[in-house]
Structure 1
């Protein structure tokens, strides 16, 4: 199956790349163009990214873009509740691979805070996110094989809260089905407000997950469904 064989809703755009390197190049070009436009319009810009292994090439490619990085704010869609030095830390990943070279001048808003409990950490992150330029100018999401995105996991105890964000919470604690279980996630209203949301996926398995997500409407069963409408640009490679 190829991405062009999927029945996409009107307004969704799909970009098929031949390999991960070309996907990273295409994604970096799209993000830098959008950030440059936001800088010209608003004098500042915000970029929210996801973690994991697959974004590394994209981060390193984007970090070399000639942008006014000092006017750009970078944040995370979600985070594991581990210290920045932990191998699973999304903040650590961003610091090692994106906040380098020219991009080191950008400001960074992390989600991890040491606290007695995960709920306390989420409250600290929520307060810190008051500094995030909103709506987010560019959002780069990934997707798990179960249809989760950010740390919006199916069957997670706080999923409905994160989808509805009652009380206008920007960040909530979340329990993942895989280690590390304890997570922090931006809530759906914050993520869904992004001016340019992008979805980056790799491999046939992710394409099949996307096909299943497009075939249904239950957001709680596959939270990525909350984003499968215009505007969204999907970048895929085998």
Structure 2
């Protein structure tokens, strides 16, 4: 199955690449231009990315792009509640693969804090995100269960985090896999991004996307919240 076979909602577009290397390169070129356009319009640009292993090649390609990185603010759509030095830390992943060389000049807003518990950490991240400028570019991924960011089906707080008009920016979440304690930006904050990209690869993700498109229960597959006009889907086999 190719992504061109899927019936996408009006206003949602899809780009197909031959392999993960070409996807990472194409995505990095597009995102860099969107960031340049934002800087030309307002002097600064804000990029929100997702963690996990999938975006590493994209991070490496984006770090090579010629940008005024000192005018870029970078943050994470979600984070694992582990110290930055931990192998599962998304902030650590960014520091290893994106915030290198000239890109190290970007301002990074981390969701993680060494708080007493996950709820306190989410409240602290919520306060920090009040300083986040309007999001120019958002990169989302998707799990085989239909989660995106750390908006997991059946997680406590999911209904609140998925509120279209919610005012809270960050919520504590529980993932079905280790590390289970997560922090996530809310649907309302994520959806406010000017440019939204969903980046996926492999047939299993295409099957998940097909299932998501076939229904409208957002709580069952939270990625459905973002299958809306202006979303761009980047996919490769």
Query: Offset at 1:67?
Result: 0.6
8 Å Cα contact 1:59/1:94 also seen in 2: yes
Is residue 16–residue 235 contact of structure 1 (8 Å, CA) maintained in 2?
yes
- In 1, the alpha carbon distance for the partners of 2:101 and 2:10 equals 39
Measure how far apart 1:11 and its partner are. Answer: 1.1
Distance 1:23 1:228 in 2: 20
- 1:83–1:89 contact (8 Å) kept in structure 2: yes
Which residue number in structure 1 is paired with residue 227 of structure 2? 228
Counterpart in the other structure of 1:67: 67
Alignment of 1:170-181 (within 5 A): 170-181=169-180
Q: In structure 1, what is the equivalent of residue 127 of structure 2?
A: 127
1:97 aligned partner: 97
Q: Which residue of structure 2 lines up, in the alignment, with residue 109 of structure 1? A: 109
CA contact (8 A) 2:166 2:186 kept: no
Deviation, 1:165, is 7.3
TM-score, normalised relative to structure 1: 0.98
Q: Does 1:198 align with 2:197?
A: yes
What is the CA distance between 1:223 and its match in structure 2? Answer: 0.3
Is 2:166–2:188's contact at 8 Å kept on the other side of the alignment?
A: no
Output the aligned Cα RMSD: 1.0
Q: What are the superposed Cα offsets for residues 149-168 of structure 1, whole Å, 9 maximum, x if unpaired?
A: 00000111110011117761
Q: Please give the per-residue CA displacement for 1:164-185, whole angstroms capped at 9, x wherever unaligned.
A: 1776111010011111110000
CA shift, 1:204, in A, is 0.0
> 1:39 matched to which residue of 2?
39
Q: Is the 8 A contact 2:146 2:223 kept in 1?
A: yes
Q: Work out the CA distance in 1 between the residues paired with 2:165 and 2:131.
A: 20
Listed as ranges, the matches of 1:121-200 within 5 Å are 121-134=121-134, 136-164=135-163, 168-200=167-199
Secondary structure of the corresponding residue to residue 164 of structure 1: coil
Unpaired runs of 5+ residues, structure 1, are none
Q: Within 1, Cα distance between the matches of 2:211 and 2:76?
A: 26
- Normalised to the residue count of structure 2, the TM-score between the two structures is 0.98
Provide the secondary structure at the position in 1 that maps to 2:162.
Answer: helix
CA contact (8 A) 1:143 1:224 kept: yes
Counterpart CA distance in 2 for 1:217 and 1:60 is 35
Question: Would the aligned equivalents of 1:80 and 1:90 in 2 still touch at CA under 8 Å?
Answer: yes
Paired residue secondary structure (1:209):
helix
Distance (Å, rounded) in 1 between the aligned partners of 2:204 and 2:25: 22
Question: How many residue pairs were aligned?
Answer: 237
